[in-house]
Chain A
Amino acid sequence: MNIVVLVKQVPDTESPRKLKSDDNTLDRAAADGVINELDEYAIEEALLIKEAHGGEVTVLTMGPDKAAESIRKALAMGADKAVHLKDDALAGSDSLQTSYAIQQALGTTGFDLVVLGAESTDARTGVLAAMLAERLGVPQLSLANKVEIDGTSIKVQRQTDYGHDKVEATLPAVVSVVEKINEPRYPSFKGIMAAKKKPVETLDIAAAGIDAAQVGLANAATEVVDFAEAPPRAQGQIVTDEGDGGAKVAEFLASKKFV
């Protein structure tokens, strides 16, 4: 099975994240980059599927040079090879454009299954799986917390606000995963060494067949018009419990008419 797992490098949430004042985009240089956390679950799921059904796992990432770190980690976890889509023309692309660019890149890899994290910790839009499925015309098996494959038939459990849906489809398909679908493995020393020898192909937009007029900040369908630091919350009242802490909270809640 040809499994492509989408990986994104995001700023570490532990380090301060900023927007740049010149173009209102994320300042990726200001923060340490890490692999988007949910993508680790996607990589793990791709590896589990490969281990059970055979095939090959290709990592596909779109992002600047720095994103190569995330590719290395995915390869060290056990993915077989990688495609790095990078081109200055892609900078500032919004979700609509990103889904188009990835669709084009998937044209070069082919796929039976595309696996990705349900959301990234930076943009948090949660739309990519749906957009990709729409563009590719394949089933959308998103927000999965369980995946079962049998031949070309695939069943997933889709996490919903009220519980879950049991969903069935036929491959090829796009699967997005939520946290706790599995327990992502740590790269072993052997894995880290092996990763250095695994093939990483770099694609620019021409090689991926991406039309420059459809990507990048200037052509985005959305724009950030301004931003400012949120006003700090007024310093609240903090008391130390002297046996009456619960009663004090109750008093506060009553003063705010919550009880």
Chain B
Amino acid sequence: MAEILVLVDHVDGEVKKVTLELLTLANRLGEASAVWVGAGYDGAKDKLAEYGAQKVYVGDEELASYVVAPKAALLAELVGSKSPAAVLVAATGEGKEIAGRLAVKTGSGVLTDVVDVADGFVAEHSIFGGGIISHAKVKAGTPIIAVRPNSIAPEAAPATPAEEQVAVTLSDADKGAKIVEKVVEEKGERPDLTEASIVVSGGRGVGSGDNFKIIEELADSLGAAVGASRAATDAGWYPHSFQVGQTGKTVSPQLYIAVGISGAIQHRAGMQTSKTIVAINKDAEAPIFELVDFGVVGDLFQIAPQLTEEIGKRK
């Protein structure tokens, strides 16, 4: 079976769910080999084994001290020495950048924001705000594919991976952008927006930053992440890093609840591939209702707290 490289996405050893999704996908297409860069490997290796990594390549910790380039250098080294059939990375901001540099280094085609990959490495995209499904292929080099988080259901498939340390010599250019400090923002107990299986987002209808408590309480009752429309982040009610949409994050959860959001095309671009969509909006004509599986026309200040309470009762 052909070897497929999966770059592990993690924060200080805490493996992101998208990595498990990529391992599952890689084992569907061939044999998954995980590639590790950075601190915390010892605490993470069981997780990689549990989700089917047949091999793990471990790079030097120093590679994580510079922006992106060293990770691409390590992958390029592996593409050269192991001739994998494809390389999978998470379609996060950083994952896509690594993919881009790797593509230049290896003269390969790169496909980003992919939602599925079929035999022959035919990649599926959902484009223009989810209105069109397209398929694309890489014609040159080794397919480099950045897969959108939450697109594949991760499946445990315990393996006993062989470990291999990989050395790579960094050029001065690879070390050009030094990370002098890593600032991890407190997000409390809530899951990551792009990884969460449930997202509750608030928009202009929420009315103020203080009122976002209503959104947070609803999210917490469901163990969900909080998102926001651009109208809400522009107003300063919620930080920009929580913005969903074309110029914000793309999310694809099992359940998306839009509260006081009209459903502009730029917002839809970031959430349209959600599996189940629920909206609460007082305007029956709001475009968000074209997307929903379930919608309530009414005042969010009545409906959202009642929903939070009802969910509490059902626990």
Interface residues of A (CB under 8 A from B): 13-14, 17, 19, 24, 37-38, 94-96, 99, 118-119, 121, 124-131, 133-135, 137-143, 145, 158-170, 173, 178-180, 220-230, 233-234, 236-241, 243-250, 252-254, 256, 258-259
Contact = CB atoms under 8 A, between A and B. Distances in A.
B265 A14 contact: yes
A224 B114 CA distance: 12
Contacts of A135: 104
A134 B295 CA distance: 47
Contacts of A247: 306-307, 310
Given A163-B185, A169-B176, A227-B127, 18 more contacts: A19-B132, A96-B110, A128-B100, A130-B68, A130-B96, A131-B100, A133-B69, A135-B104, A141-B177, A161-B94, A166-B182, A221-B107, A221-B139, A238-B294, A246-B304, A249-B310, A252-B278, A258-B255
B289 interface: yes
Contacts of B53: none
Q: Chain B interface: which size bin? A: 35 or more
B294 A246 contact: no
A233 B311 CA distance: 26
B303 interface: yes
Contacts of A133: 69, 101, 176
Contacts of B254: 258
Contacts of B194: 161
A241 B296 contact: yes
B252 interface: no
A99 B296 contact: no
A221 B306 contact: no
B177 A139 contact: yes
A71 to B, nearest CB: 22
B299 A13 contact: no
Nearest to B69: A140
Contacts of A227: 127, 132-135
